[in-house]
Amino acid sequence: MILITSAAGQTGTRIIRLLVARGAAVRGFVQSEASADKVRALGAQAFRGDLRDAQALGDAMRGVERLYHIAPTLSFREHEMGRGVVDAAVRAGLRHFVLHGVMAPYLQNINYHFAKELIQWDLYRSGLPYTVMLPTNYMQNVNWTWPTIVERGEWQLPYDPERRLTWVDLDDLAEAAANVLTEPDHAYGTYELCGSNSFLSRVEIARLMSNALGREVRAVKVPVEAYLDACRRMPFFSRMRTEELDQIRAMFTDYDEYGMPAGNAKVLSMLLGRPASSYAQFLQRLAEAWRKGAGAGGSALTHYGLPSLD
């Protein structure tokens, strides 16, 4: 049995789908009944609980051999939750703990990065066989601004369009996670994960978007406060605390100054047994899904919502 936390999110659902297709028994740790339904519809068991509840974590880990821990997006309790999951895994005697971390977890100025570094320390000291996945920015994050890109030919984000970051296709990442959970010999590995030729500026990606869409797309920098206001109006972010949303400002401030010069596609390609997808390949798929009318609900896209500064 494999337990996945934050199972109903965009990462968890993709991993569950692949594991179930391989015949693995999967249990999804979720909070709400709606999420439990989502997980059951994928062919997994659902366990409802709060990641801060030690008793619930212990109950969810009964009969479990392997675990994939994903922290909820931007939670300020991320380290507390992660430490609780590690402690429960030790008590339950799990054979393999896989942590969904983040590229450059050592960025102390961004809480959701450094919380993952702290959980890595907890795992290191736990005595558990572990693997750490360090994915860079999901290519699928472009969904946040996709309608403005398609309709206005503008990619609006609050950081310098010339700064380069690395990117990963979430579908590749899910496949690599499923491999790590079902293959032997991944214990004590820490894997930085990014796509092929993916160290790109938004100016370079906008050129790829122009090719994929057959219309000119320009990458523009918008004021960070206006961007945050737009986020606050979206259902996904509106329930977050001020400190949680502040992480978005910290993240874009860091990108604006340094980009994200971290990650190399060799690791993900090794885990997949084929070259990791490039941003150009992802965009071709996305543009095709959009043309077929899949729109914002399409499976190539994320579910966060669609902030627009209009």
Ligand X SMILES: NC(=O)c1ccc[n+]([C@@H]2O[C@H](COP(=O)([O-])OP(=O)(O)OC[C@H]3O[C@@H](n4cnc5c(N)ncnc54)[C@H](OP(=O)(O)O)[C@@H]3O)[C@@H](O)[C@H]2O)c1
What residues line the site for ligand X (CB under 6 A)? 6, 8-12, 30-32, 35, 50-52, 70-73, 100, 102, 112, 135, 137-138, 141
Residue closer to ligand X (CB basis): 150 or 262: 262
Find the helix or strand (DSSP H, E) in which 264 lies: none
Q: How far apart are CA 177 and CA 297, in angstroms?
A: 24
| 133 and 116 Cβ atoms separated by less than 8 Å | no
To ligand X, the closest distance from the beta carbon of 92 in angstroms equals: 17
To ligand X, the closest distance from the beta carbon of 214 in angstroms equals: 27
To ligand X, the closest distance from the beta carbon of 215 in angstroms equals: 26
Rounded to the nearest 5 degrees, what angle is found at the Cα of 107, between the Cα atoms of 101 and 111? 70
Strands (E), 120-211: 130-135, 137-138, 154-157, 164-165, 167-168, 190-193, 200-201
Task: Identify which of 36, 83, 93 has the alpha carbon closest to the alpha carbon of residue 61.
Answer: 93
To ligand X, the closest distance from the beta carbon of 42 in angstroms equals: 13
Residue closer to ligand X (CB basis): 11 or 148: 11
To ligand X, the closest distance from the beta carbon of 77 in angstroms equals: 7
| 190 and 267 Cβ atoms separated by less than 8 Å | no
Residue closer to ligand X (CB basis): 30 or 88: 30
Residue nearest to ligand X (CB): 9
Residue closer to ligand X (CB basis): 62 or 215: 62
Residue closer to ligand X (CB basis): 37 or 151: 37
| 170 and 100 Cβ atoms separated by less than 8 Å | no
